[in-house]
Structure 1
Amino acid sequence: MKILAVAGSNSETSINKLLVSYAASLIENAEIEIVDMNDFEMPIYKHQREVESGVPQEAKNFAEKIDAADILLISLSEHNGTYSTAFKNVFDWTSRIKQRAVWNEKPMLLMATAPGGRGGLGVLEAAEKRFPLHGGNIIDTFTLPFFNDNFDKEAIKISNTEKDSELKEKIAKISAVETILEK
């Protein structure tokens, strides 16, 4: 089983990257690739730029990673209630690839975390509405509020036992979906 773990942030100290890395580690016997948004930097999407130059290779590379995966784990950072600019630009460019849905109907666990009490709920709500329109097969969602109180950065794991159990249940659920699809 191939897992593509995407942190929707370009921060070198991304808490969403820590969360998605931990979530990926919970899936046994899987090949895991953790995506860094910094590997997909490209000009900000503009229609005229697309007409003049086409879709950048970085967007095509991102799409290839999605296509090669069996399961997508995506943890989105929230900037002013929605996606980070880094993630949104990759999403926008990838959506411009002809004859493809961005997420290609891959089973997806959609997550977010933040230092505050909503835990990235705004970006999750935005993604839950938008992603299905782009081939997003959202199996479940997970939010971790108060990241600094509920996550052990040294051990790279959720320290809040209730939230940790909740994530493990959701990981088991998405793993079961992939097992059914393999049969």
Structure 2
Amino acid sequence: MKILAIAGSNSETSINKLLVSYSASLIENAEVEVVDMNDFEMPIYKHQREVESGVPQQAVDFASKIDSADILLISLSEHNGTYSTAFKNVFDWTSRIKERAVWNEKPMLLMATAPGGRGGLGVLEAAEKRFPLHGGNIIDTFTLPFFNDNFDKEANKVSNVEKDNELKEKIQKISAVETILEK
């Protein structure tokens, strides 16, 4: 089983990258690739730019990674209640690939974390509404509020037992979906 773990942030110290990496480690016998948004930096989407130059290769490469995965784990950083600019730009360009649904109906666990009490709930709500319109097969969602209190960076794991158990249940759920799809 191949897992594509996407952190919707271009920060070198992304807490969402820590969360999605930990989440991916919970899936046994899986090949995991953690995506760095910095590898997909491209000009800001503009229709005129698309007409003149086409879709950048980075967007095609991102789509290819999605296509090669069995499960998507996506942890979105929240900037002003929605996606980070880095993530949104990759999403926008990928949506311009002809005859393609961005997420290609891959089963996904959609997550977010933040230092505050909402834990990225705003970006999750935005993604839950938008992603299904672009081939998003959202199996479940998870939010980790108060990241600095609920995640142990040294141990690289969720330290809040209740939230860790919740995450593990959701990981089992999405792993079970993939097992069913394989049959």
Cα deviations across residues 68-93 of structure 1 (Å, max 9, x unaligned)?
Answer: 00000000000000000000000000
User: What is the deviation of 1:23?
Assistant: 0.1
Secondary structure of 1:143's counterpart equals strand
Inter-partner Cα distance in structure 2 for 1:153 and 1:51: 44
Secondary structure of 2:154's counterpart equals coil
Runs of 4+ more than 3 Å apart: none
Inter-partner Cα distance in structure 2 for 1:88 and 1:57: 16
User: What is the deviation of 1:182?
Assistant: 0.1
Secondary structure of 2:63's counterpart equals helix
User: What is the deviation of 1:166?
Assistant: 0.1
User: What is the deviation of 1:103?
Assistant: 0.0
User: What is the deviation of 1:179?
Assistant: 0.1
What's the TM-score once normalised by structure 2's chain length? Answer: 1.00
Structure 1 position 79 matched with structure 2 position 79: yes
Inter-partner Cα distance in structure 2 for 1:160 and 1:97: 41
Inter-partner Cα distance in structure 2 for 1:175 and 1:23: 12
User: What is the deviation of 1:7?
Assistant: 0.1
Inter-partner Cα distance in structure 1 for 2:134 and 2:105: 8
User: What is the deviation of 1:17?
Assistant: 0.1
Secondary structure of 1:104's counterpart equals coil
Inter-partner Cα distance in structure 2 for 1:121 and 1:179: 29
1:52 corresponding residue in structure 2: 52
Secondary structure of 1:116's counterpart equals coil
Secondary structure of 1:6's counterpart equals strand
1:139 corresponding residue in structure 2: 139
Inter-partner Cα distance in structure 2 for 1:113 and 1:27: 20
Q: Percent identity?
A: 92
2:40 corresponding residue in structure 1: 40
Inter-partner Cα distance in structure 1 for 2:84 and 2:153: 22
1:164 corresponding residue in structure 2: 164
Secondary structure of 1:72's counterpart equals strand
Structure 2, unmatched stretches of 5+, are none
Cα deviations across residues 14-41 of structure 1 (Å, max 9, x unaligned)?
Answer: 0000000000000000000000000000
User: What is the deviation of 1:44?
Assistant: 0.1
User: What is the deviation of 1:95?
Assistant: 0.1
Inter-partner Cα distance in structure 2 for 1:178 and 1:69: 11
Inter-partner Cα distance in structure 2 for 1:76 and 1:154: 22
